[in-house]
Structure 1
Amino acid sequence: MTRLVVLAVFAMAAAGQSAVRIVFAGDVMLDNGPGHVVAHGGDPFADVAAALKDGDFTVANLECAIVSAGEMAYKNYVFRGPKSALPLLHKYFSAVSLANNHTLDYGRKG
């Protein structure tokens, strides 16, 4: 992730931009409430869309796996977002980190 951000910053600087604005959104979880909004065609990011679009590069920590298959891990909290969330992630974020405790909530195949 760090390499990707550094490459983006250098590419923007090489293109003549004098400043690069990076927005870090923190944890994004698309299961439960937000997942239901997405599954019914809604946009859980609508209220913060302007802030997310304010940067040249927007990064978030995706706190769920986006899967429709796989075996659920045996632990207290497991999350998965609907595949219909992928266009929203592409719309608002330049990159998401999956390096967290929910990456394998539905196994390696998930």
Structure 2
Amino acid sequence: MFAIVTIAGQQFKVEQDQEIFVHKINAEAGDSVSFDEVHLITDGDDTSVGAPLLDSASVGATVVEHIKGDKVIVFKKKRRKGYKVKNGHRQHFTKIKIDSISA
């Protein structure tokens, strides 16, 4: 059984007991969260597709931890002008574990 759900503005294909990294969610580690924007649920041969969302379908998850991603270096340069700028960025992520998928 899997579902396609929108979490923090991005769509994910999730299965029960799966751990995924999503953009930061405002919840503490150990909290339970529910996502109601479910687009598709399939269970073997039985598939339900929303137009665009399924009514009364939800995905339950537990927040495992908040972490930062790897550093991304942003380097800008204009040749022959002496212009160089170097910046770094680390994205904040939340690791969640999918507990239940209900239709």
TM-score by length of 1: 0.27
Higher helix share: 1
- With normalisation by structure 2, the TM-score equals 0.28
Higher Cα Rg, which structure: 2
